[in-house]
């Protein structure tokens, strides 16, 4: 082979290499770079999504805790005192043994609001019964699903029953039924 043919072959090889690089390698290299950048972007998106999912799960747990707190600790404040429901809930059967007498007296609701910005309807429960029945009334007030305060409690016993092991007690329980006349009913 002559020198000119070698130059043409070398030149042809160079041109073919340049064309091969320009039309095959360079476009594939650019596509690989774009794909790599897109993969990094998708990986970051997946990480953000995983972080968001963890945040959402934390918020769900917090909502569950708050709902549990509201269910267990918070009391309902109605728009009216609804004394009949309270009296019905607190009424005990008068059996002549554990409960001898029980009466309810509703007081006049003051026009001003208390420190919690609720109106309150006073109710007095007087009864002559054993201690367990008095405790049941107090327990029923505390476990009602509405906001009620025990404002006073007086328990006494007559001197003639001082020697009896399970004496009949006289009790007076003052209750304030809280309500909010501005409460919007759903």
Using the predicted structure, report yes or no on whether residue 118 has a pLDDT greater than 90.
Answer: no
Burial call 137-147: b when 16+ CB within 10 Å, e when fewer: bbeebeebebb
**pLDDT averaged over the chain?**
85
* E strand or H helix that includes residue 5: helix 3-20
117 band by pLDDT with thresholds 50, 70 and 90: confident
**CATH says 83-179 is which class?**
alpha beta
Calpha distance 53→38 (Å, rounded): 22
CA distance 89 to 96: 20
- Return the pLDDT at 186: 47
pLDDT digits over 132-152, tens only? 999 999 999 988 888 888 999
pTM, two decimal places: 0.59
| Cα angle, residue 45 at apex, residues 39 and 46 outer, rounded to 5° | 90
**Dist. CA 42–CA 124, nearest whole Å:** 69
CA dist., res. 181 & res. 164, Å (int)? 48
Q: Where are the domains of the chain?
A: 1-74, 83-179
- Greatest mean pLDDT among 16-20, 28-32, 124-128, 159-163 lies in 124-128
Which pLDDT value is given to residue 25?
A: 83
Tell me what percent of the residues of the chain surpass a pLDDT of 70.
89
184 pLDDT above the threshold of 60? no
Are the C-beta atoms of 126 and 140 separated by less than 8 Å? no
Give pLDDT, residue 116: 60
CA distance 177 to 122: 6
pLDDT of residue 103: 92
**Can you tell me the mean pLDDT for 155-170?**
77
- Is the pLDDT assigned to residue 112 strictly greater than 60? no
Could you report the per-residue pLDDT of 68-78, keeping only the tens digit for each? 888 777 787 88
Cβ within 8 Å of residue 121, ≥6 positions away? 81, 83, 106, 107, 109, 176, 177, 179
Q: Does residue 178 surpass a pLDDT of 80?
A: yes
Which two tokens mark 57?
């799960």
């Amino acid at each position: 082979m002559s020198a000119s043919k070698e130059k043409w072959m070398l030149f042809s090889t160079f041109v073919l290499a340049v064309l091969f690089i320009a039309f095959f390698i360079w476009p594939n290299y650019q596509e690989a770079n774009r794909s790599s950048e897109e993969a990094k972007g998708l990986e970051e998106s997946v990480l953000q999504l995983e972080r968001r999912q963890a945040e959402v799960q934390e918020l769900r747990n917090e909502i569950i805790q708050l709902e549990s707190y509201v269910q267990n600790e918070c009391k309902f404040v109605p728009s009216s005192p609804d004394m009949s429901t309270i009296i019905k809930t607190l009424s005990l059967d008068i059996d002549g043994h554990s409960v001898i007498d029980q009466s309810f007296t509703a007081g006049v609701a003051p026009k001003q609001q208390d420190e919690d910005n609720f109106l309150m309807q006073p109710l007095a429960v007087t009864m002559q019964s054993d201690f367990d029945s008095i405790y049941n009334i107090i327990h029923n007030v505390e476990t009602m699903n509405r906001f009620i305060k025990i404002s006073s409690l007086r328990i006494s016993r007559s001197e003639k029953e001082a020697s009896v092991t399970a004496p009949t007690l006289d009790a007076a329980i003052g209750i304030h039924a809280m309500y909010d006349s501005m409460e919007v009913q759903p």
